[in-house]
Structure 1
Amino acid sequence: MNAIKISNLQKSYGSGLVLKDINLDVNSGEIIGYIGPNGAGKSTTIKILIGMIPDFEGVVKVLGYDVKTNPMDVKRLIGYVPENAMLYDTLSPMEYLRFLGSLYQLESSHIEEKASELLRLFTLYDQRDDRMTTFSKGMKQKVLLISGMLHNPEVIFLDEPLSGLDANAVILVKEILAQLKQAGKTIFYSSHIMDVVEKISDRIVLINQGTVIANGTFEELKSQRETGSLEQIFNQLTGNTEHVHLAEEFIQVMNR
Structure 2
Amino acid sequence: MLDIQHLTKTYKGGKKAVDNLSLRVEAGDIYGFIGANGAGKTSTIKSIVGIHDFNSGEIYICGHSIKDEPLACKRSMAYLPDNPDLYENLTGFQFLDFIADIYRISMEKRLQYIDKYADIFELKDSLNKLIAAYSHGMKQRLALIAALLHEPKLLILDEPFVGLDPKGAFYFKQIMKELAGKGCAIFFSTHVLEVAEELCTKIAILQKGHLVANGKTAEVKGSSSLEEVFMELQDYD
- Under a length normalisation based on structure 1, what TM-score does the superposition of the two structures give? 0.88
C-alpha distance in structure 2 between counterparts of 1:49 and 1:13, whole Å: 16
What are the Cα deviations for residues 194-243 of structure 1, in whole angstroms up to 9, with x where unaligned?
000111111100001111000122321223xxx722112111101359xx
Please say which structure displays the higher CA radius of gyration: 1
Shift of 1:50: 1.1
C-alpha distance in structure 1 between counterparts of 2:90 and 2:131, whole Å: 6
- In the other structure, the counterpart of 1:12 is 10
* Code of the aligned partner of 1:159: D
* Code of the aligned partner of 2:98: F
8 Å CA contact 1:102, 1:108 repeated in 2: no
Cα 1:55–1:213 shift into 2, 3 Å: closer
* Code of the aligned partner of 2:176: L
Larger relative contact order (CA 8 Å, sep ≥ 6): 2
Q: How does 1:1-256 map to 2 (within 5 A)?
A: 3-14=1-12, 15-223=14-222, 228-239=224-235
C-alpha distance in structure 2 between counterparts of 1:217 and 1:118, whole Å: 30
Aligned residues with identical type, % of pairs: 33
The runs of 5 or more residues in structure 1 that have no matched partner are: 242-256
C-alpha distance in structure 1 between counterparts of 2:204 and 2:36, whole Å: 12
The runs of 5 or more residues in structure 2 that have no matched partner are: none
What are the Cα deviations for residues 5-25 of structure 1, in whole angstroms up to 9, with x where unaligned?
111111100111111111112
C-alpha distance in structure 2 between counterparts of 1:36 and 1:117, whole Å: 33
Cα 1:235–1:94 shift into 2, 3 Å: same
C-alpha distance in structure 2 between counterparts of 1:8 and 1:117, whole Å: 40
Q: How many residues align?
A: 236
* Code of the aligned partner of 1:144: A
- Under a length normalisation based on structure 2, what TM-score does the superposition of the two structures give? 0.94
Shift of 1:104: 1.2
C-alpha distance in structure 2 between counterparts of 1:78 and 1:205, whole Å: 20
8 Å CA contact 2:84, 2:139 repeated in 1: no
Shift of 1:112: 3.3
